[in-house]
Amino acid sequence: MTGLPQLDLSADVLTLTRALVDAPSVSGAEGPLADAVEAALRALGGLEVERVGDAVLARTNLGRPTRVVLAGHLDTVPIADNVPAELREADGVQRLYGCGTSDMKSGDAVMLRLAGRFGVPGGEPAHDLTFVFYENEEVEAVKNGLGRVARERRGWLYGDLAILLEPTDGEIEGGCQGTLRARLETKGRRAHSARSWLGVNAVHGLAGALATLAAYRPREVEIDGLTFREGLNAVGITGGVAGNVIPDEASLTVNFRYAPDRDEDAAEAHVRSVFAEVLAAGATLTVTDNAGGAMPGLAEPAAAAFVAAVGRPARAKLGWTDVARFAAFGIPAVNYGPGDPQLAHTREEHVRVDRLQPAEDALIAYLSGSPA
């Protein structure tokens, strides 16, 4: 028998991060790690625990006036010869290398430490706490474990603040931007290129759209003191039939990253207005993917108290993250984790050891209600 991973929640956060990394959990294969997390949380004795697929949900029910939700995914991208974890030191800095060290088993380890501290009888957190460990974050959105919990166990996600422990390098990143992908297509008329005047060139038909994009001035928006910076860009272009044919079809894929003060419909309307001229000339625009962002909600008292506990100014989250799933329920949600987002998914993925304890300490201070 291969041993199931055993998780000792009384071990320090580095040891725990290491144990999590050494239990491989590529998306779709989180089962054994989820089992270990579930067993460790049940053993604490102060938590209501529920399993949904390979998501493990746990919460205190102490009747506190406020509830804080802590969430982290258990899965990683495919391993790149970087498991088991390896501790290395360079320039006086210790780093733990391995798949998931940054994204986001160090964050999961912090969550487990907090569960071990507050999820026991007499744990006395200042807020009721909900822990959500979930599967399939690194793959298609339809498989996302947090999405499933939102659909099937919505009550478990209720709270006054959600903290997602994705890598942020120890900074609070508020909200997240939305992302829209669309295909802009032009039609023409095919002809032999020796008699090009008989055809209509669909590739040339995209020239106006490209000029529009090159001249586009993205908005910068300030929300709750955070600056969100939008972007509208071509991310792909196709067209052409053969070296002697005037092409009758061409398409441009655009990606609009938008601030959370626009909802999905407003984002689509904006993209359509940007391309109004090309569309009036006969091009068509099809939205292929549109996920709204999340307002930072940092003005909410629970979020403001967390910013104070961390003691550093928050910044805007520019990528899309699962905080948007909380924001969709009107719950303020922030990203805050010890990992380095630049290292996520790389072969050299690692986490600085000196980032781990401060993340745990800041959360302990906040969750125990001690002044910052």
Which CB, 78 or 236, lies closer to Zn ion?
78
| Contact in structure between 306 and 366 (CB atoms under 8 Å) | yes
Applying CB under 5 A, which part among 53-61, 101-109, 157-165, 186-194 lies near Zn ion? 101-109
Task: Give the residue ranges of DSSP H helices in 71-160.
Answer: 106-118, 145-152
Return d(Cα 312, Cα 38) in angstroms, integer: 33
Contact letters (x/-) for Zn ion, 188-207, by CB under 5 A? Answer: --------------------
Tell me whether residue 60 or residue 321 sits nearer to Zn ion (CB atom): 321
Nearer of residues 60 and 101 to Zn ion, judged by Cβ: 101
Which residues are part of the catalytic machinery? Answer: 75, 137
- Rounded least distance, CB 16 to Zn ion, Å: 18
Give 247's contacts (C-beta < 8 A, 6+ positions apart): 188, 190, 201, 202, 203, 239, 240, 241
Residue 83 as a binder of Zn ion (CB under 5 A): the answer is no
166 Cβ contact partners less than 8 Å away, ≥ 6 residues apart: 72, 103, 104, 107, 321, 322, 335, 337, 339, 341
Phi and psi, residue 227, nearest 5°: -100, 120
CB of residue 337 vs Zn ion: minimum separation in angstroms?
9
- With CB under 5 A as the contact rule, which of the stretches 99-107, 241-249, 284-292, 298-306 interacts with Zn ion? 99-107
Binding to Zn ion by CB under 5 A, coded x per residue (else -) over 47-76, reads ------------------------------
Q: Does 104 bind Zn ion (CB under 5 A)?
A: yes
74 or 283: whose CB is closer to Zn ion? 74
3-state secondary structure of 359: helix
Q: Which residue, 13 or 146, has its beta carbon nearer to Zn ion?
A: 146
For residue 105, which of 30, 43, 178 has the smallest C-alpha distance?
Answer: 30
User: CA–CA separation, 68 vs 366, rounded Å?
Assistant: 10
CB of 205 to Zn ion, least distance (A): 40
103 touching Zn ion, by CB under 5 A: yes
What's the CA gap between 216 and 270, in Å, rounded? Answer: 12
> To the nearest whole angstrom, how small is the minimum distance from the Cβ of residue 72 to Zn ion?
8
Find the residue with minimal CB distance to Zn ion. Answer: 103
| Minimum distance of Zn ion from residue 76's CB (angstroms) | 8
Q: Give 115 or 344: the residue with its C-beta nearer to Zn ion.
A: 344
Integer-rounded Cα radius of gyration of the chain: 24
Considering CB under 5 A, how many residues would be counted as binding Zn ion?
A: 3
Residue 184, CA distances (Å) to 234, 258, 285, 323, 350 in order: 10, 18, 4, 29, 40
Backbone angles phi, psi at 275, to 5 degrees: -100, 20
Site string for Zn ion, 147-176 (x = CB under 5 A): -------------------x----------
Chain residues that interact with Zn ion, rule: CB under 5 A: 103-104, 166
